[in-house]
Amino acid sequence: MDHSGNLLNETEHPGLDKDQVLNLYQKMIQLNVMDGIMYDAQRQGRISFYMTHYGEEALIGIAAALDSEDVVFGQYREAYMFLYRGLTVDECVSQCFGNELDMNKGRQMPVHYGSKKYNFQTISSPLATQIPQAAGSAYALKMAGNRNISVCFFGEGAASEGDFHAGLNMAATLSCPVIFICRNNGYAISTPSSEQYKGDGIASRGLGYGIDTIRIDGNDIWACYNATKKAREIAVTSNKPVLIEAMTYRAGHHSTSDDSTKYRNKKEVADIIQNDNPITRLRHYIENHGWWSQEDEDACRKQARKTVLDSFASAEKKKKPALENLFTDVYDELTPNLEAQKKELRELIAKYPEYYPTDEFKSSI
């Protein structure tokens, strides 16, 4: 699809109907609006941290091409996968607040989402660790014979970690049905890709591991969809890994702890947002089909905003999780040592209540 939303080659028509396409577009808008509000909330000190998806929203096309039982391993900039599968804005916002509804029980930083129901393994901060894990889970899925695969996202920076090498080589040698998706957005925090590698991107490495590989326009939702659809077919039918390198651009800062104007030109960013924006590209497509109008756009954005603000208002008022969650789930059961330490904290709180804000928590220990 070109920048005006016209398909360049009709034989590669994605074949999604109006409802499916509009659903994808609305989810992109929802994510974009949530990113804006949560980013600002962090600036105001109301949540501790946030990471936006600006410029990478078209990767939601990957979600649409998968089976809902396929197991996803992410890096951290893949909330479109969650929203597509059905995780609510409420659940995302609660996680960012670390309140009593946080799926992680208040233990991880914001945007480290996870969902058992939607087969998305909980995000962790150490980069690339999920790559060999995705290979292992794919091997297990193959053994179980249920024809599901694993899908693993990572950035081009993470691909420099040893775990990238380990994961791709293991997936190839052990015939694991897994799709590796590299989001090559040009930057790893401040490091441009020219300081990340000297070869032909990440895709060229796939061939060295004996992995079927494709490089796609990551700002084109239909390229994302079609490549994933085909990759999934290869993975399922021949128990082989596939590598997709999606070329995109990180239009936002790396995170709320980063000011990207320190290392890249504002004009470069503005030009890309203006000329190669994944959201406007899909908008042109739906407008070209007569499926969308300015009124629809306004209503959609207004609703998206209301959804986030409602969640935000309710999440902010909620208490933090029960304090006992500090000690549970380290192991399946509390060890005698942890029981003793829990007791020690309980006694400390009783002794120095003015130094422990227990009323902010759902319950004390």
Residue 170 binding another protein, by CB under 8 A: yes
In this structure, what DSSP letter does residue 188 have? E
Residue 205 binding another protein, by CB under 8 A: no
Q: Which long-range contacts (CB under 8 A, 24 or more apart) does 314-318 make?
A: 314/90, 315/90, 315/93, 315/94, 315/96, 315/97, 315/99, 315/101, 316/46, 316/97, 318/94, 318/97, 318/99, 318/100, 318/101
Residue 126 binding another protein, by CB under 8 A: yes
- Binding segment toward another protein, per CB under 8 A, in 21-29, 33-41, 78-86, 164-172: 164-172
Q: Which residue has the tokens 């957005």?
A: 185
- Binding segment toward another protein, per CB under 8 A, in 14-22, 79-87, 273-281, 321-329: 321-329
Of 103, 211, 242, 282, the one binding another protein (CB under 8 A) is 103
Residue 239 binding another protein, by CB under 8 A: no
Residue 114 binding another protein, by CB under 8 A: yes
Q: Please give the Cα distance from 333 to 339 (Å, whole number).
A: 10
Of 116, 198, 267, 317, the one binding another protein (CB under 8 A) is 116
Q: How far apart are the first and last CA of the chain?
A: 57
- DSSP assignment of 5-56, as one string? S--S-GGG-----HHHHHHHHHHHHHHHHHHHHHHHHHHTTSSS-----TT-
> Residue 276 in contact with residue 57, Cβ under 8 Å?
no
Residue 332 binding another protein, by CB under 8 A: yes
Residue 134 binding another protein, by CB under 8 A: yes
Parallel/antiparallel/unpaired status of strands 150-155 and 187-188: unpaired
Residue 141 binding another protein, by CB under 8 A: yes
- Binding segment toward another protein, per CB under 8 A, in 8-16, 82-90, 162-170, 346-354: 162-170
Residue 135 binding another protein, by CB under 8 A: yes
| Residues engaged in binding another protein (CB under 8 A) | 71, 73, 102-105, 107-108, 112, 114-116, 121-122, 124, 126, 129, 131-141, 143-144, 150, 162-163, 165-167, 169-170, 173-174, 325, 328-332, 335-337
